[in-house]
Each structure stands twice: as C-alpha cells, then as structure tokens.
Amino acid sequence: MRTLDKRTVQLGEYIVEHRSTVRDTARSFGISKSTVHKDVSQRLKTVDPGLYRQVKQVLEHNKAERHIRGELATREKYRRRLMESR
C-alpha cells in the first residue's frame, strides 16, 4: 500500500473513531483541511469503500450540526468578552 493510501485510511479511521470534524482531524495530523477533505472524500472511495461510507456518515452528521457548534462558539466568545470587561 502506498504512503498516500495509508494516510488516507488513517484519516478515515480517525474520523470514524473520534467522530471528528475535518478541521479537528487536520489539526491532529498537522495537515491542511483541504488535504483531509480530498483524502476522505475522493481517495478513500477507491482505497476502502466501506470505510468511505462510514466517514461520509460522520461528515454528514457534522455538517447537520454545524450551525449548532457555530452558535455555541459565538455565545462563548461574547461570554468571555463580558467577563473580561468586568
């Protein structure tokens, strides 16, 4: 198995195991978000179709919850600002 294929499978396994976002996965592996996205959305389909389907489910779930995480981040940001101004 090529090094690129190994990395692709590692990324996919990490996402499934940790239910991780593309951004969190990229941070954990020290690579760019676009590299992670390309690996798991294009390359993984040919390298390991079963794992690809699992990763796709996790990413769809993350996408569905994206607006909630954004709201929580904004709330936390303004809470910190309020605490700092006191």
**Residue 26 pLDDT more than 90?**
yes
Cβ proximity of 55 and 25 under 8 Å: no
Cβ proximity of 47 and 8 under 8 Å: yes
* Encoded amino acid at 5, one letter: D
- Tens-place pLDDT, residues 9-19: 999 999 999 99
Name the residue with tokens 């978000």. Answer: 33
Closest CA to 3 of 55, 61, 74, 11: 11
* Beta-carbon count within 10 A of 36 CB: 26
d(CA 69, CA 83): 21
Structure confidence at residue 8 as a pLDDT band (50, 70, 90): very high
pTM across the whole model: 0.79
